[in-house]
Chain A
């Protein structure tokens, strides 16, 4: 465990120096703050626009940060063989990959907290602090961080056997497929015209169901948080992300890196 934590600490320091991270974060915060101006374009129900734009900005920019940062810090390092000095030390490959993923998760969580704080400040500035549904807000942003964790998991998995460009493409494709599939699965499962329902069932479990980790709607409509459901969702997200990193570790352990 200790070697993994050392790698994680190194990864955090390395990630915080990435300019891409700072640029995307600044864009996200600017977009969140500008949601007040965007909301002035409508009549009535402006809170909704601010809440939607803030949460969506966090989700989109957080996903981009997670994917590009992960590929940059794992895939690039393996591709350029800059990880060799580290691997020459008494540290397992699995611990190395887990440490990388853990460090990236820490950085992405920090980013998520910054964007959550910006969102909270923006919504409070418009509607007052008492108008913010705090439990829904916390639940939605916590699940968003688990979405980012899944992005890191995919990036870690693909980084172990392909190039940085392909790792980025594959990761974004699987995340997008997870979003699309969570919307259309109900139609596929209920519509009589769609055959091969067994395949839909298989895909339903293989692809990440990003819709289950998306509670932005709870902020928009100030829905009460169902804590049991939140627990299951969080368990699903964590298990899926850890599974991806574990699969990556298995592949990485068998890879010839000479």
Chain B
């Protein structure tokens, strides 16, 4: 048996080591690809301390924690049992590191109220943002949204809408704020709710939040349609002393221009015995301003 050539004696161990490393790497692939969401809240450092020792890199640290938060929200929104308890502490840390990070206040505020159902924490992060970045109108707008939809506090909502209009130089928000302030006793102000939801949809960038707002918008369109049909049924009853037999009778009586389509994608149903109307997809009309979005 001829002895192994010199070059092979050098290359063979290197190839063997490379093969071992590659095999181990292949085996470790699931661990390498595993997502690592933020779970250990106890290990989040204090924002002021971290800022002091950041050696001039507090913006990059804020970006690091912000990217972690975005990943966390993405994982949580796909989970069957989402946990949102990291959102506020991490958002607080990010904004301690960079108090001017307006976008972080805005998106964290939206996620906390819309997805985590923690309106109190959403209000806290938005109020912190308003104090630090007073010229960012979206923060006033988000706080007005919380006050209107989740806390039924129309007066404060109108105040923040007015500030949003002033700071952001957006006249249409003045109109909305005025409508809210003047009409604060009207429970079925669907036009106003739709205005707010449409602006919210245009401003939101996080996909899970956009989805929640879009669903709520369809609900508002549908309820506005049902409210219009209910008013027509009531007018028919007053005119004829009995409820109509069908929705077509409302059209024939010129109380409706046509049987309206269902914005939720189904059809508008009417029960002549009870006089009740409903969407075949979303059911009966729900009064607005009844707690957070479910």
Residues of A participating in the B interface, judged by any CB pair closer than 8 Å: 38, 41-45, 48-49, 52-53, 55-56, 59-60, 176, 179-180, 182-184, 187, 210-211, 214, 216-217, 220-221
Contacts and interface: CB of A to CB of B under 8 A. Distances in A.
Contacts, number: 56
A48 B205 CA distance: 16
Across the A-B interface, the 7 shortest Cβ-Cβ residue pairs: A44-B205, A56-B60, A45-B103, A179-B55, A179-B56, A52-B59, A183-B52
B66 A42 contact: yes
A52 B52 contact: no
Interface string B85-106: 0000000000000001101000
Nearest to A210: B56
Interface string B118-158: 00000000000000000000000000000000000000000
B59 to A, nearest CB: 5
A166 B290 CA distance: 68
A43 B206 contact: yes
Given A49-B67, A182-B56, 15 more contacts: A41-B67, A41-B70, A42-B66, A42-B70, A43-B205, A44-B205, A45-B103, A49-B63, A53-B63, A56-B59, A60-B57, A180-B52, A180-B53, A211-B56, A217-B100
B63 A183 contact: no
B56 A44 contact: no
Nearest to A217: B59
Given A42-B66, A43-B70, A44-B205, A220 B59 contact: yes
A252 to B, nearest CB: 29
B286 interface: no
Nearest to B62: A52
B59 A216 contact: yes
B205 A214 contact: no
**Interface residue tally on B, bucketed by range:** 20 to 34
Contact of B55 (A42, A53, A176, A217): A176
A43 B207 contact: yes
Interface in B23-53: 48, 51-53
Contacts of A220: 59
A59 B60 CA distance: 12
Nearest to A59: B56
8 contacts: A42-B66, A42-B67, A44-B103, A56-B57, A179-B56, A187-B48, A210-B56, A217-B59
B54 interface: yes
Contact of A53 (B56, B60, B206): B60
A26 to B, nearest CB: 20
Contacts of B100: 217, 221
A48 B60 contact: no
A159 B213 CA distance: 63
Contacts of A52: 59-60, 63
A185 B56 CA distance: 14
